[in-house]
Structure 1
């Protein structure tokens, strides 16, 4: 009988240990979209911001589309976890300023996304059920599809306006991939993670190309290429909000 109790006690310890070892991780990732000009909060009133060309400006409108938001595993299989296929950000709508993932398995990951829509997705009237369809449609006479971004405001004075619109000028794919070097580690001790996905507005107009707020950027192919180059350089950064 003594041996029986001893065996049962040992078995219960083993079962308990297995339960502790195989705990299911329930961590999620929250991405907050944040926008600033060289760490200064966006102004929609005074001409607070100054770009590389020396132009003072404000930001009245900022709307853009990001796609293929995903985590890529650093393991040998390089598995990918899609967080969201398409997300529309409008700074006037707080509900568009964050994304919450599903539960993420343990592992080490790199976050990436595509700014805009690539040529396979950017087709006129293909997203008619999206709320942004009417406002983000790209003119058919310029290739059709959808804008990647509408960045608008006034500059130099309160009656002179700029419209930095990016998209598929004449059918060209000016979307680009953003891959962050920050390693995101998740294990059984990890609680929910929160990150700020920051856009520095000033960096659209500098590094490596200095771009002024001249009109007709939509139709200017070289400017669209320069904006793409600047966007790929350092417009976006990823910051952890939880130590």
Structure 2
């Protein structure tokens, strides 16, 4: 009887040792073919004047009334945005999507663009710059912008325009007048140049869950108000060398953009 118990004890011990050795040697299975889903991001730029769509089909025929009551008609609208970045809500990682995009309201192909890189799926916040910041606003370095006659005069600081908005105002009268609402670097009375860009950091949560398109909406009417009600009868042209006008533009630009529809397909 004692001999049977002895062998039983040996077998149980060997079983325990075997299990222990199996547990010690076990390594978790890590699949080697799993990758983080990545995607590019599409952008759509839409423009309106207090809800009235402004695009290549109608921008020269619309009559628009600004905050000060001047009735105007556009002849050219072009603007530059740059440094488009998405910051991950989960990790804080910043992804630089696009260096810049020049929108020309007369050319619908400039309304849409795709990010230069792919990013992981997740939740993000968007930021961007109106025009170029000081680091990027370097005179003559962008071949495509040079070809588009987008340069800002060297005597006013060089670099590039942020906005060209040209047209006529008081078009409801017998004496329409031209305006050239151009924005870029500001030159003060001492002959010093001040960077005049605006940084946008949107609060909207953006879910990137596949083929994502982000709509960026620009309300052109905001250029003429908030906080400065613009009187075109006083400030129409030339505005590029006008320091006060340039700083007023910078203040008004801060409210022109918002995030519209976000779609994931």
Q: Which residue of 1 aligns with 2:211?
A: 192
| Residue number in structure 2 paired with 1:35 | 47
CA contact (8 A) 2:79 2:162 kept: yes
Q: Is the 8 A contact 2:186 2:241 kept in 1?
A: yes
Other structure's SS at 2:222 match = helix
8 Å contact kept, 1:47–1:56: no
Under a length normalisation based on structure 1, what TM-score does the superposition of the two structures give?
0.82
**Which of residues 90, 93, 116 is equivalent to 2:104?**
90
Change (3 A) 1:19 1:134: closer
Q: Is the 8 A contact 2:145 2:151 kept in 1?
A: no
Map of 1:104-123 to 2, 5 A cutoff?
104-123=119-138
- Moved runs in structure 1, 4+ residues, more than 6 A? none
Aligned length: 222
Residue 131 (structure 1) shift: 4.1
Task: Summarize the alignment of residues 13-162 of structure 1 with structure 2, pairs less than 5 Å apart.
Answer: 22=34, 24-42=36-54, 43-46=58-61, 48-76=63-91, 78-101=92-115, 102-127=117-142, 129-157=143-171, 159-162=176-179
Instruction: Confirm or deny: 8 A CA contact 1:47 1:157 kept in the other structure.
Output: no
State how far apart, in whole Å, the 2-side matches of 1:66 and 1:41 are. Answer: 20
Distance 1:202 1:183 in 2: 26
Q: Does 1:231 align with 2:253?
A: yes
* 2:261 alignment counterpart: 240
Cα shift at 1:92: 1.7
Is 1:163 paired with 2:183?
Answer: no
Alpha-carbon spacing, 1:103–1:141, altered in 2? closer, same or farther (3 Å)? closer
Shift of 1:116: 0.6
* Structure 2 residues not aligned, in runs of 5+: 1-28, 188-192
Work out the CA distance in 2 between the residues paired with 1:205 and 1:199. 13
- Please tell me whether residue 173 in structure 1 is matched to residue 195 in structure 2: yes
Contact 1:47 1:155 in 2 (8 A): no
Contact 2:38 2:121 in 1 (8 A): no
Shift of 1:52: 0.6
**Does residue 222 of structure 2 align to residue 203 of structure 1?**
yes
Q: Is contact 2:70-2:169 (8 Å) kept?
A: yes
Q: Which has the larger radius of gyration?
A: 2
Residues 211 and 69 (structure 1 numbering): CA distance in 2 closer, same or farther, change over 3 Å? Answer: same
> How far did 1:79 drift?
0.9
Q: Secondary structure at the match of 1:112?
A: strand
Query: For residues 184 and 159 of structure 2, what CA distance do their matches in structure 1 show?
Result: 8
Q: How many Å separate the matches in 1 of 2:210 and 2:159?
A: 40
Note the C-alpha offset of 1:130. Answer: 1.6
Q: 2:205 aligns with which of 169, 175, 183?
A: 183
